[in-house]
Amino acid sequence: MIEHQAEHQRFLLRRDDHSARLEYQLGPDWIDFTHTYTRPALRGHGLAAQLVAAGVAYARERGLQIRASCSYVADWLARESRRSS
């Protein structure tokens, strides 16, 4: 289950004793996804993609402009854009 920790500006996903996270900075009308990190034991299971999807859904629900300083998020957004066109 993905946990939104607004006080830390991040989304967190825990599995067993490991975690993955998506960090962001929030502006008045925008959100900048700045960093994703997945512990090595959890890599390759699509957890970062789940976190980004949750972050993007959060941004869209609030009408925020999405920025992607994180290259993983930028790549994810580009892939999603190609799928929907």
Instruction: State residue 83's pLDDT score.
Output: 81
Give the separation between CA 44 and CA 34, rounded to whole angstroms: 20
Instruction: State residue 85's pLDDT score.
Output: 66
The domain spans of the chain are: 2-84
- By C-alpha distance, which of 83, 25, 22, 18 is closest to 53? 22
Q: Which residue has the higher pLDDT, 39 or 62?
A: 62
CATH 3.40.309.10 fits 2-84, yes or no: no
Q: How confident is the model at residue 16 (pLDDT cuts 50, 70, 90)?
A: confident
Instruction: State residue 23's pLDDT score.
Output: 99
Whether the predicted model's global pTM rises above the 0.85 cut = yes
Q: Please state the rounded mean pLDDT for residues 27-49.
A: 94
Instruction: State residue 18's pLDDT score.
Output: 87
